[in-house]
Amino acid sequence: MTTGTPPPTAPKRSRARTFVPLAIAAWAVLEIWLLTVVANAAGGFTVLLLLVAGIVLGAAVMKRAGRRAFRNLTETLQRMPGQPGAAEAPQAASPGSEGNGFLMLGGLLLIIPGVVSDAAGLLLLVPPVRSMLGRYAERSLERRMRAAGPGSLSDAFQQARIHRPDGKVVQGEVIRQDGAQPDSRPDEGPRPPLTP
């Protein structure tokens, strides 16, 4: 006897869920191997000094980027229309106010122990590299936003709700005609709360 419901199917695994853990594992193995190569060539104390210097420099960079971001936020809030002392025309952003995200990422990569992450973190400290990556990220985001149709983000959340594996979410629609009163059921007591 069948109930008329199709058997549950396993959700299809995305490429990111497959390859990101493999890439992280390969990166960790590469970092460990490079640290052992440097330790064999220059000595263990040198590797320890490199790791400590990376942590200290990364923390200083992240602290500086955080202060810059907070200062930029404060200036932006003070320039908002309606604030005392705010200019009537919106002002351009001050030079050096962009790239805080990549600067923080560079600091984080410096804090993470390893040769490759330190090299990438140092590369992100170079202002032309940060501005080039910022322009690329902005163009990529604009292209994706243009390609996305209206309502696609909410549709994605709706689809995520509908296809939950526990099956507790039921897709439905309530339709009322104009002027119609909802059914009143005086014989029933209070309804129990809905459970997610």
Per-residue pLDDT of the chain (196 residues; tens, 9 = 90+): 556 666 666 667 777 788 889 999 999 999 999 999 999 998 889 999 999 999 999 999 999 988 988 888 888 888 877 666 555 555 555 555 566 888 899 999 999 988 999 999 999 999 999 899 989 988 988 888 777 666 555 555 555 555 555 656 556 666 667 655 555 555 556 666 666 5
Q: CA-CA distance, 92 to 98, in Å (whole number)?
A: 12
Per DSSP, the residues of 88-137 read: SSPPPPPTT-S-HHHHHHHHHHHHS-SHHHHHHHHHHTSHHHHHHHHHHH
Residue 99: how many other CB atoms lie within 10 Å: 19
Q: CA-CA distance, 141 to 148, in Å (whole number)?
A: 11
Specify the pLDDT at position 180. 55
Q: Pick the closest to residue 122 from 134, 101, 105 (CA basis).
A: 105
- Predicted TM-score (pTM) of this structure: 0.60
Query: Chain-centre distance of CA 125, in angstroms?
Result: 21
Specify the pLDDT at position 18. 83
Q: CA-CA distance, 69 to 64, in Å (whole number)?
A: 9
Specify the pLDDT at position 181. 56
Per DSSP, the residues of 14-43 read: PHHHHHHHHHHHHHHHHHHHHHHHHHHHH-
